[in-house]
Amino acid sequence: MASRLRRHRRTKIVATIGPASSTPEMLAQLFETGADVFRLNFSHGTHEDHLARLQLIRALERKFDRPIGILADVQGPKLRVGQFRGGRVQLQAGAEFQLDLNPAPGDTRRVNLPHPEIIAAASIGATLLLDDGKLRLRVLRKREDQLLTEVVTGGPLSDRKGVNVPDVVLPIPALTKKDRADLAFALEHGIDYIGLSFVQRAADVLEAKEIAAGRALVMTKMEKPQALDNLDEIMDATDAVMVARGDLGVELPPEEVPIVQKRIIRAAQQRGLPVVVATQMLESMISAPAPTRAEASDVATAVFDGADAVMLSAESAAGQYPREAVNMMDRIVARVERDDDWRRTIDAKRPDPEPHSADAIARAAEQVAHTIGARAIVAFTSSGASALRVARERPDCPVIGLTPSTITARRLAAVWGVHAVVAQDVGSMTEAVALSAKVARQEGFAQPGEEIVVVAGVPFGQSGTTNALRVARV
C-alpha cells in the first residue's frame, strides 16, 4: 500500500472544472494544492468536454493513488424571457409591462414568456424577478395567456434573461429532458455525486434517486424558498446537500441568506449528511490574485458553521487564478481549524446521537479518542455509513475510512475529516486492528507506540452492523 497525499485540514474543497482548469497540468496542480472533489457543471460544455475532464481526473487518481470525488451538476429547469427587437430594452419603474405567450420579439411594453406554467401559477400581487433579481415586477392582472405587471425596480433587460418566481411553487419537474440525458451520460461514466438543481419538494429528489439507482449519491442544491418550506422532507430524502447561495440570494432578501445557510447546515449535520457551501466564495479571484477580506471571512464562516466542504465555481472554472484560488481556500480553512474558537464552536454544535448502535459507537469513539489523545479513528466501512457517523461527531483527530470499495472511497472525499483508503476486506477484529495500525502508520497519521481507535461491524462485510470499538497501539 503506497503512501498517499494527506490533507492537514478537516473541511474539504470542491473545485469546479472548466476552460481555465482542464489541462492535465492544471488539474494536477489543483489536486496537489487542495481540491478534494471536482465539479463538472453541465450548464456549460458538451458531453465530449466532460468526458475528457472525467478521464483526466481518473488518470490523476491513479497517479496519486488517492480517491477523488466527482460531482456532476445538472442545469435544472431554466426559466427565461424571450427576445427583444434590438436585443435589449430599458424598463422604467412604475411602468406596466406584459409577459405573454406570443413568440413575437418584445419591446418596452411586452415580451414573450414561453412558460405557461408561470402564468398559470402566478397570483395577483406575486413578484417576478428578472436577470438574477436585478429587475422586479409585481403582477397586477392575469389572463390565461398573459400577465400584466408593474415594474417595481427597472433597468436594462436583454434577450433570454432568467426569470425567478420566489412566491410560487411551480408545477415543473426538477429534471428536464437535457438533465436526463446529462444524468444518463454521467452515470454511465461513473460519477460520484449528482448535483440536483432547483428542487422544490422531496418528490424531485426521489425521482433523481430512482434514476441514479444507487450508482451515484444525490446532492440536493438548496436554492429555492419552496425547498426551505419543505426542508425536513427534502433532507430525509437526499444523500447530501449544497447551500447554493446564488439563486437562493436572488429569491431571498440578502439578509436572510446567512441565516438560511446556518439552518441548512444544522439540518444536514443532525442527519449526518455531507453539506457543501457554494457560490461567490472567492468571487474576486476570478480576475485578482487575492480575495477581498470579506470573502476570506465568508469562507471562514462556512468552516465555523460546520460545513463538510466549501466550493469554488467560476474562480477555478473560468478565472485567471484557479490554482491560487484553491490555495487561498486551503489556507483560510487550515487557519480557521487551528483556532481554539473553531474547536469550541464545532463541539458546541455537535448533535445528539440517534438511538442506534452505530451512532452510540461513533459518539463513544469520539469521546475515547479525545480522552486518550488518539492519533486517528479508523472506521471500517463498506457503504461509507460508518465513516459518516463518525464524521458527524466532528472528532478532534482525523478519521481514516477504510473500505474495500473504490466507489465508497470516492464518495467519502466530500465528507468532513475523512481520509479514505481502499484496502482489502478483513475477516476478524484481530485482522482489522492490524490493518488499521499499518494504514495509520503508512498514511502518516500515527507513529509506532501511539494509539488509534478502531470502529467496525461484526460480522465483517455486512453494511449497517457497526457495533465494535477497540483501542489499539501502532
Residues annotated as catalytic are: 39, 80, 221, 279
Q: Could you give phi then psi for residue 81, rounded to 5 degrees?
A: -75, 170
* Spatial separation of the C-alpha atoms in residues 166 and 144, rounded to whole Å: 21
Grid coordinates of 458: 461484526
Return the axis-axis angle of helices 202-212 and 177-188, rounded to nearest 10°. Answer: 40
C-alpha cell at 338: 487551528
| HEC profile of the chain | CCCCCCCCCCCEEEEEECHHHCCHHHHHHHHHHCCCEEEEECCCCCHHHHHHHHHHHHHHHHHHCCCCEEEEECCCCCCECCCECCCEEEECCCCEEEEECCCCCECCCEEECCCHHHHHHCCCCCEEEECCCCEEEEEEEEECCEEEEEEEECEEEECCCEEECCCCCCCCCCCCHHHHHHHHHHHHCCCCEEEECCCCCHHHHHHHHHHHCCCCEEEEEECCHHHHHCHHHHHHHCCEEEEEHHHHHHHCCHHHHHHHHHHHHHHHHHHCCCEEEECCCCHHHHCCCCCCHHHHHHHHHHHHHCCCEEEECHHHHCCCCHHHHHHHHHHHHHHHHCCHHHHHHHHHCCCCCCCCHHHHHHHHHHHHHHHHCCCCEEEECCCCHHHHHHHHCCCCCCEEEEECCHHHHHHHHHCCCEEEEECCCCCCHHHHHHHHHHHHHHCCCCCCCCEEEEEEECCCCCCCCEEEEEEEEC
What's the distance, CA 226 to chain centroid? 19
